[in-house]
C-alpha cells in the first residue's frame, strides 16, 4: 500500500512539510551491519525510499532539505561504497533541489563558539543554534511554493515553532514515522488472523 497523506489545501500559498524520521532511514546501505557494514538497517532505508517517492508524488515539492551533512554519507561510504543518500537520490530522480541543512562537525563547533554555547545547552533549550542554521539554509527557498524538510523525530515540534515564528505555513506529515510503522505492525500482530497469515507474515505486508 502506498503512502496516502491527509493534507490541507495550500494551492494559494507556500508551505513547508515536516517529516520526522529515524536517522537510520536516511542512507541507503547494502552491506549488513553483522558483516562489517555501517550501523544502518537496509530494509528500513529501502522502505523509506519507497515511502518518500510516494510523498514526493503527492506534495510535489520544489525543494527537499534534510537534517544531515555530506560528511555522514562519506563516512558510511568508507564502509559501504554503494551507500547513498535516500533524499538526495529521490530529489535527483524528480529534478528537485536537494539541501544538506545540518552543519558538519567543524561548522557546528564554530557556530557554538560564536554563540558562546555547546551541544548540550543547545539541545536542552530547543536547538536554537542547530535549528537556527537549518532555517538560515532553507530561507532562500521558503517561497519555493512547496518545501519538504526531513529531520529527526525529536526536532519536529521545535523546528515547526521556529518556522511559524517566521510566518511560514507548516504541515507535519509525520512526527515520528518509525513509531507509526511500529505501531501499525503491533496493531496488526494483535488483530485476529488475516487470511491465515501468521503475525510475522501480516506485519511484513504493512507498507506506508
pLDDT digits (tens, 9 = 90+) for 33-71: 666 667 778 889 999 999 999 999 999 999 999 999 999
Same domain, 170 and 185: no
- State the CATH number of the domain containing residue 35: 3.40.50
pLDDT digits (tens, 9 = 90+) for 10-19: 444 589 999 9
pLDDT at 184: 81
User: Residue 181: which domain range?
Assistant: 177-208
Same domain, 186 and 105: no
pLDDT digits (tens, 9 = 90+) for 126-166: 999 999 999 999 999 998 779 999 999 999 999 999 999 99
Query: What is the tally of structural domains in the chain?
Result: 2
What does DSSP say about strands 63-66 and 15-21: parallel, antiparallel, or unpaired? unpaired
Given a contact cutoff of 8 angstroms between Cβ atoms, the answer to whether 118 and 60 are in contact is no
d(CA 107, CA 103): 5
Same domain, 201 and 153: no
Q: Which residue has the higher pLDDT, 67 or 9?
A: 67
Q: At 75, give phi and psi (nearest 5°).
A: -65, -40
5 inside domain: no
What the block records as the C-alpha cell of 161 is 515553532
Q: Which residue has the higher pLDDT, 96 or 6?
A: 96
d(CA 61, CA 175): 19
**Stated pTM of the model:** 0.83
Same domain, 80 and 45: yes
pLDDT digits (tens, 9 = 90+) for 64-110: 999 999 999 999 999 999 999 999 999 999 999 999 999 999 999 99
Given a contact cutoff of 8 angstroms between Cβ atoms, the answer to whether 59 and 146 are in contact is yes
pLDDT at 19: 98
Please spell the DSSP secondary structure of 52-96, one letter per residue. Answer: HHHHHHHH--SEEEES--HHHHHHHHTT-TT-EEHHHHHHHHTT-
What is the number of alpha carbons within 13 Å of residue 195 lying toward its C-beta? 4
Amino acid at each position: 500500500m502506498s503512502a496516502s497523506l491527509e493534507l490541507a489545501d495550500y494551492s494559494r500559498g507556500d508551505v513547508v512539510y515536516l517529516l520526522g524520521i529515524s536517522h537510520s532511514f536516511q542512507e541507503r546501505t547494502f552491506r549488513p551491519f553483522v558483516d562489517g557494514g555501517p550501523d544502518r538497517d537496509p530494509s528500513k532505508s529501502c522502505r523509506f525510499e519507497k515511502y518518500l517517492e510516494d510523498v514526493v508524488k503527492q506534495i510535489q515539492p520544489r525543494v527537499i532539505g534534510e537534517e544531515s551533512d555530506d560528511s555522514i554519507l562519506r563516512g558510511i561510504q568508507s564502509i559501504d561504497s554503494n551507500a547513498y543518500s535516500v533524499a538526495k537520490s529521490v530529489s535527483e530522480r524528480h529534478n528537485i533541489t536537494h539541501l544538506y541543512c545540518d552543519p558538519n562537525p567543524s561548522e557546528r563547533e564554530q557556530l557554538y563558539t560564536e554563540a558562546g554555547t555547546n551541544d548540550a545547552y543547545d539541545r536542552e533549550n530547543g536547538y536554537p543554534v542547530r535549528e537556527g542554521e537549518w532555517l538560515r539554509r532553507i530561507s532562500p527557498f521558503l517561497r519555493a511554493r512547496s518545501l519538504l524538510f526531513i529531520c529527526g523525530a525529536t526536532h519536529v515540534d521545535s523546528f515547526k515553532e521556529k518556522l511559524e515564528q517566521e510566518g511560514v505555513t507548516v504541515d507535519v506529515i509525520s512526527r515520528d514515522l518509525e513509531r507509526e510503522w511500529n505501531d501499525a505492525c503491533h496493531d496488526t500482530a494483535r488483530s485476529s488472523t488475516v487470511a491465515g497469515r501468521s503475525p510475522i507474515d501480516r506485519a511484513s505486508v504493512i507498507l506506508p
